[in-house]
Amino acid sequence: AGAVIVGRTNVPAFSTRYFTDNALHGRTLNPWAPDRTPGGSSGGAAAAVAAGIGAIGHGNDRAGSVRYPAYACGVYGLRPSVGLVPEYNPSTREERGISSQIMQVQGPLARTMGDVRLGLDALALRDPRDPWWVPAPAAGAPVKGPIAVAMLSSLPDTAIDPAVAEAVQRAGSMLDNAGYR
């Protein structure tokens, strides 16, 4: 897809932890707060993207391994639907187990949604060796007319923190400026 591979990032042993630490490469630090985890199992990719080492990182997700590191490091992460990204791996001698085939996916991490989209477009390219791959358009048909959005700034008998109310108002203004009604 024309990308320049910068390097590899760290993962926990067997990619099965919610923190990124292993005996071979040690602990991965969260670039925003070294005393906090960058998440796992794709914590190395999320930390590298957050630190500006690369624009797009690659992670795999079975139980939050793209989503949690994205949250922990303040970047965007996307867990695509099963079948959108081909999973064929020529380095294995046998087919992946059925649980991996129906649960695990590969996904991008990035600092902007535009880069997430770019990463997903590259990851989702067809590979005829993967029978589970499903062609799916990245975008649907354009929506006609303005899109209506409902916004609640208060709820009966519920206290709302002023910072939350202000954030909701800002989000509403942004949607209004983008053409939503």
Q: Which of 104, 101, 115, 103 minimizes the C-alpha distance to 50?
A: 115
Residues 84 and 119 in one domain: yes
Looking at the structure, tell me whether residues 54 and 110 fall in a common domain: yes
Range of the domain at 146: 141-181
| Catalytic-role residue among 15, 42, 65, 173 | 65
Mean pLDDT of 100-113: 90
* 3-state secondary structure at position 172: helix
- pTM here is 0.79
Mean pLDDT of the residues in the chain:
89
Domain co-membership, 103 together with 155 = no
β-strands 56-61, 105-110: how paired?
antiparallel
**What's the rounded Cα separation, in Å, for the pair 44 and 57?**
9
Query: φ, ψ for residue 14 (rounded to 5)?
Result: 60, 10
pLDDT per position as a tens digit, 90-102: 777 777 777 777 7
Per the structure, how many domains does the chain have? 2
Is 1 contained in some domain? no
Residue 79 lies in a domain: yes
pLDDT of residue 128: 87
Examine residue 130 and state whether it is found in any structural domain, yes or no.
no
**Which member of 15, 41, 42, 91 is catalytic?**
41
Task: List the beta bridge partners of residue 21.
Answer: 27
The angle subtended at Cα 67 by Cα 72 and Cα 9, nearest 5°, is: 70
Whether residue 1 is predicted with pLDDT greater than 70 in this model: the reply is: no
pLDDT band at 40 (very low <50, low <70, confident <90, very high): very high
Q: What is the DSSP letter of 133?
A: -
Could you confirm whether 65 is annotated as catalytic? yes
91 as an active site residue: the answer is no
DSSP state of 158: B
What is the pLDDT, as a whole number, of residue 94? 74
For residue range 41-87, list pLDDT tens digits in order.
999 999 999 999 999 999 999 899 999 999 999 999 999 998 899 88
Give the separation between CA 20 and CA 34, rounded to whole angstroms: 12
